[in-house]
Structure 1
Amino acid sequence: MNEFDWSDLDARLLQLLVAVVEAGSITGAAHALGVTQSAVSHQLDKLRAITGDALFVKSGRGIVATARAGELAVQARELLRQLQGFAHSGAFDPARWQATITIAANDFQRDVLLPPLMARLREAAPGVALRVIPSAIPSLEMLRDGACDLAISPRPPEGSDILQKRLFEDEYRVFHDPAARAAPASLKDYLAADHITVVYEPRRALDLDRTLAERGVRRRFAIMVPGFAGMPGFLRGSQLLAAAPSLLGRGLLAGFASVPLPLPCPKLPMYLIWHRRHQDDAAHRWLRGELEALVPGVMAGDAPPGPAR
């Protein structure tokens, strides 16, 4: 009965077998593998015990492989090739990537970030389709259950298996239609106006509105829409004012004038959010890198803006 069995096989033994077959000698194999001759002899004894075959026999001053060793060497080369492919399975070529990626984003981050991302994908990964779903307040479940591959939101959910990266920080400005009214000249003028704002379902106010209300700042909201995309139609031709992220002035709110808010207000951070299971996935890591890489251009106004409505 052999002292060893098949479970004692490893890549080093397979490499040894192939090296001895190809070199035709213990000395040549040792040189090719960068080990001593005694190490090769010891490992060959182990391999003989596993296979139950002599593997190599003396022939004159050298050695020759047995028929069984020749057959095993063919299998060993294929196994080594497969092991190498397994070890390098993380190597990723975006040009060959075929997938549908789902990103959860509300209209602000959707229009600011995803059109330039799609332009990058068209060039580097033409086989990738982009599916966009509303994020509302991103939940742990939508990330854990795979409802989306990434979420982009100012409000990352808290969970030990959820990862995040801050992409940028924007500021709010007061938008108005310059053909219908002048900019508010003072805080009093600003507070006296009618306003349009966003209230996400189910009745979630913007962080800005909540913070100002907590400070006792009262504004009269004449219109509440479920997303920033609903603002332009009401703002155009009206006396309304809208506090919205400044980046929307390059796309969704292009054509409207804007001025700084006449009182201190919080910034708007934006985070990229994903589940831990995607952390080391080569394709997912590449996609996150592409999103991060386009942010400086977006902030500088170099990236293509989202669609104006």
Structure 2
Amino acid sequence: MAALETLRLVHELGSFTAASERLDVNQSAVSYTIAKLRACFGDPLFVREAGRQVPTERCERLLEQAGTILDLLDDMAEPDTFDPARTEATVTLACNFYERILVIPRIVSALREEAPRLSIRVVNALGDGHLRLLRREADVLIGPFGRPESGFHSRRLYEEKYACLMDPSHPHAGRRLDAETYLSLNHILINYGASWKSAYLHELEAAGHVLRPAITVPSPAGIAAVILGSDLVATVPSRLGQSISEGLAIRDCPFPGAFDISVVWTARNNASAMHTWLRDRIFAACR
């Protein structure tokens, strides 16, 4: 089973060196284990591409089949109780820009208050953060990522909707925006990439409209500086807009696209004492 855990870590981290550091062993020990597995299964398991160990299809199938066994072993090793004051464990939170600005500071503060020696990692979720949960690259996923399918659990933190940011001198800065006016504006579109599309765009398109942006950017980071002094308008989640809108006007969007911010985790961690504590602290911090 130690060999399977080594295989899983190389798969997760994409590096023999990183896996050896996580396991606290020499890199040669990881290389030797992978070599034995390669001989056993008659497959290279990993090939090196662009400086990263990329898994073969056979490796992906092996890990998928071994996942249940590894989960069972994790459950058996998990203590029945958890003492946050003494733990030196590492927890990984997957989220994006919105959550890093609005909720991660509160979550980190709450976790460190009770578990000062806990190590906290924050990683990008992008549009497919649930895959980071399945690959054991994250313990929880925070954001607009409810997962109704089997194998996931989720809990709603709060509801969010969209608002518009514009320069205070914009002709519509002091007016209520209707759909026709909104569509005629010069928009900054935030394209988060992957398969993600913002909820207000779904609502807008369902009403038979098409948004034609003047500018497209990959993130809300630095967007206030682009808007200031211009005729541009950006549509962002309302709470985020209030956080980054210093010096700007903020108006309700006629396509509010209401959505939930949730915490998502896998069935694998559902009964864990440590992960139950982690989720409870997140819910309390974001209430």
Partner of 1:285: 276
Cα distance in 1 for partners of 2:195, 2:79 equals 46
Distance 2:171 2:138 in 1: 42
Closer, same or farther in 2 for the Cα pair 1:255/1:284, shift >3 Å?
A: farther
Residue type at the aligned position of 1:220: R
| Superposition TM-score, scaled by structure 2 size | 0.66
The residue identity in structure 2 corresponding to 1:123 is E
Distance 1:201 1:264 in 2: 21
Deviation (angstroms), 1:105: 0.5
Q: SS of the counterpart of 1:163? A: strand
Corresponding residue to 1:204 among 196, 204, 217: 196
Shift of 1:94: 1.2
Report the counterpart of residue 275 of structure 1 in structure 2. 266
Matched residue type, 1:99: A
Q: Secondary structure at the match of 1:286?
A: helix
Q: 1:141 to 1:205 in 2, by over 3 A?
A: closer
Letter in 1 for 2:270: Q
Structure 2 residue aligned with 1:100, among 85, 90, 103?
A: 90
Percent identical pairs in the alignment equals 30
Higher relative contact order by CA 8 Å / sep ≥ 6: 1 or 2? 2
The whole-number CA distance in structure 2 between the counterparts of 1:123 and 1:260 is 37
- Matched ranges for 1:1-309 at <5 A: 89-179=79-169, 182-183=172-173, 184-187=175-178, 188-202=180-194, 204-261=196-253, 263-296=254-287
Letter in 2 for 1:221: P
Q: Specify the alignment match of 1:301 in structure 2.
A: none
Measure, in 2, the Cα distance between the counterparts of 1:223 and 1:100.
Answer: 40
Deviations along 1:22-45, whole A, 9 cap, x unmatched?
xxxxxxxxxxxxxxxxxxxxxxxx
AA partner of residue 186 (structure 2):
D
Deviation at 1:212, TM superposition (A): 0.5
Name the aligned partner's letter for residue 257 of structure 1: A
How far apart, in 2, do the equivalents of 1:286 and 1:165 lie? Answer: 14
Deviations 1:180-218 (A, max 9, x none): 554155423322210112212236321211320231223
Is the contact between residue 125 and residue 132 of structure 2 (CA under 8 Å) also seen in structure 1?
Answer: no
Residues 1:254 and 1:97: Cα distance change in structure 2 (over 3 Å):
farther
Cα gap change, 1:186/1:142 in structure 2, threshold over 3 Å: closer, same or farther? Answer: closer
Give 1:136 deviation, angstroms: 1.5
Shift of the 277–154 alpha-carbon distance from structure 1 to 2, 3 Å rule, reads: same
Specify whether residues 181 and 128 from structure 1 end up closer, same or farther in structure 2 by C-alpha distance, changes over 3 A only.
farther
Q: What's the RMSD between the two structures over aligned residues? A: 2.3
Give 1:120 deviation, angstroms. 1.3
Specify whether residues 117 and 199 from structure 1 end up closer, same or farther in structure 2 by C-alpha distance, changes over 3 A only: same
Measured after TM superposition, the shift of residue 147 of structure 1 is: 0.8
How much does 1:157 deviate? 3.8
| CA radius of gyration, larger in | 1
Q: Please, which runs of 5 or more residues in structure 2 have no aligned partner?
A: 1-75
Residues 202 and 257, structure 2, Cα contact 8 Å, conserved in 1: no
